[in-house]
Amino acid sequence: MERGILTVEHDVECPGCGLILPRQAKVAGHRYIPASPECWSLFSEVLASEYENVVIYSAVHQLTVDCYAVQHAVNHPAKSLVSHLVSLHLQLVDGMTGFEARDRLKFLVDTTRDYPELPSPERRAGVTIFDVALKVGSSDYVRAVRDWAAAVWESWSGSYGAIGAITTELKCRYEVR
C-alpha cells in the first residue's frame, strides 16, 4: 500500500491524520474524535500496549494521547485542541513529564473558559499512529512516540506564539494557586 494513494477500492483514508488503511468490517470509530474507525482501532491497540507496561506508560502515554488528539483536530472544539497543544508544549519545550503536563492540563481545563480558535496547519505531520504501532514491543518504541510528537508539534509551528502565551499564563496561574 503506497502512502497517500488509495491503492485498493476498499481502503479508507482517515480524515484527521490522512492515514490510509484497509477497511475493516467490524471496527467502530469514536463519537468525538474525527478519525476513521480503522485509525481509531489502531490507536486503541497502541494504547492497550502502553497500559500493559508501566515504564512505557510513564514515559510517553501523555504524548501519545496529545499527538493523536492534535493530529485529529478536524472541526475539533478549540478547548480540546488548545489543551492538547499546551500539553505538548509543556512536555516538548518545557521538558515536563507527562504526569506534570497532565496535572497542569487539568488545571487549565478547570479554570479557563475561552480558548482561541487556531488555524489548521498548512500541512499534516508526516508521522502517524501507524509509524508508532510498527514499533510496539520494540526497544525503539519510546523514540518512535517522541519522533511522532516532534513531527506533530512542528506541524503546528504557526501557532507556537499563541500556545506559548497560553502556556506562560497557565504556569503563572498554576504556581500562585
pLDDT in single tens digits along all 177 residues of the chain: 444 454 455 788 998 899 998 887 676 666 667 888 999 999 999 999 999 999 999 999 999 999 999 999 877 788 999 999 999 999 999 999 999 999 999 999 999 989 999 998 989 999 999 999 999 999 999 999 999 999 999 999 999 999 999 999 998 888 877
Q: Is residue 155 part of a domain?
A: yes
User: Is residue 46 a part of any domain in this protein?
Assistant: yes
Q: Please, are residues 13 and 54 in contact by the beta-carbon 8 Å criterion?
A: no
**Looking at this protein, which amino acid is placed at residue 78?**
A
* 9 within a domain of the structure (yes/no): no
Let me know: does 73 contact 118? Beta carbons within 8 Å. no
Residue in 120, 129, 89, 107 with CA at minimum distance from that of residue 173 = 107
Residue 30, pLDDT score: 62
* Dist CA 105 CA 81 (whole Å): 12
Reported residue count of the chain is: 177
Residue with cell 485498493: 8
Could you give the angle at which helices 54-71 and 98-111 cross, rounded to 10 degrees?
40
Does residue 1 lie in a domain region?
no
Task: Measure the N-to-C terminal CA separation of the chain; round to a whole number of Å.
Answer: 52
Spell out a b/e string for 13-47, using b for 16 or more CB atoms within 10 Å of the CB, else e.
bbebbbbbbeeeeeeeeeeebbbbbbbbbbbeebb
Give a yes or no: residue 135 inside a domain: yes
pTM value is 0.89
Q: Is residue 47 included in any domain, yes or no? A: yes
Give the pLDDT of residue 33.
Answer: 79
What is the distance between the alpha carbons of residues 117 and 115, in angstroms, rounded to a whole number? Answer: 7
Confirm whether 74 is domain-assigned: yes
What domain count does the chain have? Answer: 1
Range of the domain at 155: 37-176
**Does 22 fall in a domain?**
no
User: What does the pLDDT look like over 73-85, one tens digit per residue?
Assistant: 877 788 999 999 9
Specify the 3-state DSSP secondary structure of 7. Answer: coil
